[in-house]
Structure 1
């Protein structure tokens, strides 16, 4: 089929939506489809046989225009974390019509169904984001310190500095160092990160770095902190699991929907003291850290490109049957 994939993220952006769009375009082309990535769709644009739109709220205009111009052609909408946990409540007049117009919805973690209106659940499909194994040539964890990575752009939804705040509370002899990679979404966030580095010797912010460098950061870390307060199913969790890296995660649906309700590495969202305790236990208790690692590594087969491609193929089959 001719597929147009709409993402609100610009071509050179390292935002998660753009990374997902680029990866999915490759997987769909591998299935024999012709895929075009755009930031918007207008009635005068080439009409695809299927429109796949990332973000119900940010892509609402393109979704509405396509549904009106091509009502018989399949329309698939991907629900992001802010769609599910913010915009359907704060901007229902723009967000919910995107769900109404869609022939199929895609959620990026297994618990999305419980967080959207019941009338949409019969059109919901789960597609877990994939990651590639780390090259064997990458060196392992840094010796002499317990390096913990945080991967994600600095913004409120990510509660981005929580790991840094937690590291401040650790005992004087702790070897924990928090290394964060991601672009600041505002100058206020950039200044907050720079200020934290100035007063917190256990914290380092790298800014936005290429994906290859992110993967090297995963390789040299002993754990990853996923501190979000809302999340649609972060690809960083997939990357960590495929890398065999333990995840210390806020207990929110976007994380439990990837790691499972029984995962032992959760802490209450925004609870600095609880995260500090989890960091300290991870550093001091090798058996606990290994338990987390084994749990994450066991999930890795769910996050392969082949599994993601099969899930996408099932969605297309459902809407074109």
Structure 2
């Protein structure tokens, strides 16, 4: 088949949607299909459209459906789609869902927040990750480094970990190392200001994926403090790396790590996060419990499992289109 993957993120972007599109393109090619990635409906011959983002790709979805009413559409739902845009832009979100023949959710609990009438279109695709390289460097003696990997924007609650390590006891070894692009100069200014007053916080700005993998390899733990997530690939990567995760208790994290994962804290609860960070620094048994827990999830995030789920989503879309076209 000729498959078009559409994403709002342009070529060369380090945005998570672009990385997902690039990885899925490679996966679908291994299944024997011709694949191209675009940011818009290019009018070329396409047998199946795979769109990332119900709201931001809505124009492309509508144009493709009008141009090719007999061709299937697979729609991958992001965190902002499910947890924001379906409420702030219900008409656009709803029209994209109605146009799609199959829906992709990136974690196990997406269906909890979709209208029941769409559950039969939903396929869960866990984003895959490769094991990180061995760390070429290690933190200096006396440091316990905790990484935060996420862009600086409201949905990520990006400074929660920085706030949690302010005024820790002098004996604490914890340092927060944050990699992620500032979505505005105001966010960048806040990061620089935080570094100026908080010696336990370092912002690296945006770095490439190889640097991210190196950062994870040398870190003792990772914090993901988001208020909404569609199923963050950094959680998959942490599980594959055996990197303990301290995560906000939101559906997007629970749907990847499991309801009984021991490393959750309430959203925006700085004090609770602070206590968890101090615990992983001082309680090796608890830290090992987290390592074991993420390790037990790692098998869910293999390239083979991701390819199989993508094929399932495409097959479902083809089947639904065939059924609707039948007399």
SS in 2 for 1:206: strand
In structure 1, the partner of 2:234 is: 236
Aligned partners of 2:118, 2:139: CA distance in 1, in Å? Answer: 44
Residues 238-286 of structure 1, C-alpha deviation per residue, up to 9 Å, x if partnerless? 1111110000000000000000000000000000000000000010100
Q: Are residues 1:298 and 2:296 paired?
A: yes
Report SS of the residue matched to 2:165: helix
Quick check: 1:113–1:121 contact (8 Å CA) kept in 2?
A: yes
* Equivalent position of 1:40 in the other structure: 40
Aligned partners of 2:133 and 2:214 also within 8 Å: no
Flag structure 2 segments of 5+ consecutive residues without an equivalent: 320-327
Q: Which residue of 2 is the match for residue 11 of structure 1?
A: 11
Are the equivalent residues in 2 in contact too, given 1:139–1:219 (CA < 8 A)?
A: no
Q: Does the CA-based 8 Å contact 2:121-2:316 persist in structure 1? A: no
Q: Which residue of 2 is the match for residue 152 of structure 1?
A: 150
Equivalent residue for 1:308?
306
Q: CA deviation at 1:135?
A: 2.3
1:115-134 aligned at under 5 Å gives the runs: 115-134=113-132
Task: State how far apart, in whole Å, the 2-side matches of 1:142 and 1:80 are.
Answer: 38
Note the C-alpha offset of 1:141.
Answer: 5.6
Structure 1 residue 169: Cα displacement:
4.2
Q: Does 1:105 align with 2:103?
A: yes
Structure 2 matches for 1:127-276, cutoff 5 A? 127-136=125-134, 138-139=136-137, 143-276=141-274
Distance in 1 of aligned mates of 2:139 and 2:101:
46
Could you tell me which residue of structure 2 aligns to residue 62 of structure 1? 60
Secondary structure class of the residue paired with 2:306: helix
Give a deviation string over 1:209-265, Cα, whole Å, max 9, x none: 111011000011000000000000000001111110000000000000000000000
2:135–2:214 contact (8 Å) kept in structure 1: no
Residue matched to 1:88: 86
Normalised to the residue count of structure 2, the TM-score between the two structures is: 0.96
- Which TM-score applies when normalising by structure 1? 0.97
Q: Provide the secondary structure at the position in 1 that maps to 2:307.
A: helix
Q: C-alpha separation between the residues in 1 aligned to 2:151 and 2:232? A: 12
Cα distance in 1 for partners of 2:196, 2:282 equals 27
Root mean square deviation of aligned Cα: 1.1
Equivalent position SS for 1:12: coil
1:85/1:143 Cα in 2 relative to 1: closer, same or farther (>3 Å)? same
The separation in 1 between residues aligned to 2:290 and 2:143, in whole angstroms, is 19
Give the direction of change, closer, same or farther, for the CA distance of 1:71–1:211 in structure 2 (3 Å limit). same
2:49 equivalent among 30, 48, 51: 51
Partner of residue 25, structure 1: 25
Q: Alignment partner of 1:106: what SS?
A: strand
Q: Deviations over 1:185-226 (max 9, x none)?
A: 011110000000000000000000111011000011000000
Aligned-pair distance for 1:68? 1.4
